[in-house]
Structure 1
Amino acid sequence: MSGRPRRRRSEMALTILVLNAGSSTLKFALFDRRDDHPVLRFKDMVAGAGTPALEALFARLAKEGIDATRLAGVGHRIVHGGTEFSGPVAVNDDVESRLNRLRALAPLHQPYGLDALRAVREAAPRVPQVACFDTAFHAKQPEIAARFALPGTYFARGYRRYGFHGLNYEHVVSALPNLTGTPLPSRLLIAHLGNGASLCAVHDGRSAATTMGYSTLDGLVMGTRPGALDPGVVLAIMKDDRLSPEQMEEILYRKSGLLALSGLTSDMRSLLESPKSEAKNAIAA
Structure 2
Amino acid sequence: MNILVINSGSSSLKYQLFKMPEKAPVCSGLVERIGIEGSFIKHNVYTNGNKHSIELAAFIASHGEGLKQVLALLSEGEFAVIASSNDIAAVGHRVVHGGEHFAGPTLITDEVKQQIKKLFSLAPLHNPVNYKCIEVAERTFTKAKQIAVFDTAFHQTIPEQAYRYAIPEWYYKEDSIRVYGFHGTSHKYVSEQAIKWLNKKDTKIISVHLGNGCSITAISNGKSVDTSMGFGPLSGLMMGTRSGDIDPSVIFHLMEHSGYTLEQLSTLLNKQSGLLGVGGSSDMRDIRKMADEGNQAAILALQLYAYRIKKFIGAYAAVLNGIDAVVFTAGVGENDSQMREAVCSGLEYLGLTLNTAANKTYAGELKEISNADSKVKILVIPTNEEYEIAHQCFDLLTVA
Q: Is the TM value for this pair above 0.5?
A: yes
Equivalences for 1:244-283 in 2 at 5 Å? 244-262=261-279, 264-274=280-290, 275-283=294-302
1:61-85 Cα offsets, whole Å, 9 max, x none, are: 1132402233111101000001101
Alignment-mate amino acid for residue 16 of structure 1:
I
Say yes or no: does 1:198 pair with 2:183: no
- What secondary structure sits across from 1:225 in the alignment? coil
Change (3 A) 1:224 1:23: closer
Shift of 1:193: 0.6
Larger mean CA deviation between 58-67 and 146-155 belongs to 58-67
Say yes or no: does 1:119 pair with 2:136: yes
- What secondary structure sits across from 1:170 in the alignment? helix
Equivalences for 1:199-214 in 2 at 5 Å? 199-214=216-231
Equivalences for 1:3-152 in 2 at 5 Å? 14-33=1-20, 36-46=21-31, 47=41, 48=60, 49-63=62-76, 64-66=80-82, 67-152=84-169
Q: Which residue number corresponds to residue 344 of structure 2?
A: none
Q: Which residue number corresponds to residue 319 of structure 2?
A: none
Shift of 1:128: 0.3
Change (3 A) 1:129 1:177: same
- What secondary structure sits across from 2:157 in the alignment? coil
Q: 1:232 and 1:272 mapped to 2: Cα distance?
A: 31
Change (3 A) 1:177 1:42: farther
Say yes or no: does 1:155 pair with 2:172: yes
Shift of 1:269: 2.0
Q: 1:24 and 1:186 mapped to 2: Cα distance?
A: 33
Change (3 A) 1:184 1:166: farther
Kept in 1, the 8 Å contact 2:11–2:212? The answer is no
Q: 2:25 and 2:249 mapped to 1: Cα distance?
A: 48
Change (3 A) 1:23 1:222: closer
Alignment-mate amino acid for residue 31 of structure 1:
F
Kept in 1, the 8 Å contact 2:165–2:179? The answer is yes
Alignment-mate amino acid for residue 269 of structure 1:
R
Shift of 1:242: 1.0
1:76-128 Cα offsets, whole Å, 9 max, x none, are: 10000011011110001111111111001011111111111111111222210
Kept in 2, the 8 Å contact 1:261–1:278? The answer is yes
Say yes or no: does 1:173 pair with 2:186: no
Structure 1 length-normalised TM: 0.89
Shift of 1:191: 0.2
Q: 1:280 and 1:117 mapped to 2: Cα distance?
A: 39
Larger mean CA deviation between 74-83 and 169-178 belongs to 169-178
Q: 1:135 and 1:145 mapped to 2: Cα distance?
A: 15
Q: 1:277 and 1:283 mapped to 2: Cα distance?
A: 10
Kept in 2, the 8 Å contact 1:108–1:253? The answer is yes
Shift of 1:239: 1.2
- What secondary structure sits across from 1:139 in the alignment? helix
Say yes or no: does 1:221 pair with 2:215: no
- What secondary structure sits across from 1:87 in the alignment? coil
> Percent same amino acid at aligned positions?
36
Kept in 2, the 8 Å contact 1:186–1:204? The answer is yes
Larger mean CA deviation between 15-24 and 197-206 belongs to 15-24
Change (3 A) 1:45 1:258: closer
Structure 2 length-normalised TM: 0.64
Pick 1 or 2: higher relative contact order, CA cutoff 8 A, min separation 6: 2
Q: 1:251 and 1:185 mapped to 2: Cα distance?
A: 42
1:243-281 Cα offsets, whole Å, 9 max, x none, are: 11101101011111122222x212222222221111111
Shift of 1:235: 1.0
Shift of 1:174: 2.0
Alignment-mate amino acid for residue 40 of structure 1:
P
Q: 1:229 and 1:161 mapped to 2: Cα distance?
A: 16
Larger mean CA deviation between 240-249 and 180-189 belongs to 180-189
Gaps of 5+ in 2: 32-40, 42-59, 305-400
- What secondary structure sits across from 1:283 in the alignment? helix
Shift of 1:52: 2.9
Q: Which residue number corresponds to residue 284 of structure 1?
A: 303
Q: 1:72 and 1:95 mapped to 2: Cα distance?
A: 20
Shift of 1:38: 4.3
How many residues of Structure 1 are paired with residues of Structure 2 in the alignment?
268
Kept in 2, the 8 Å contact 1:50–1:119? The answer is no
Q: Which residue number corresponds to residue 4 of structure 1?
A: none
Shift of 1:186: 1.8
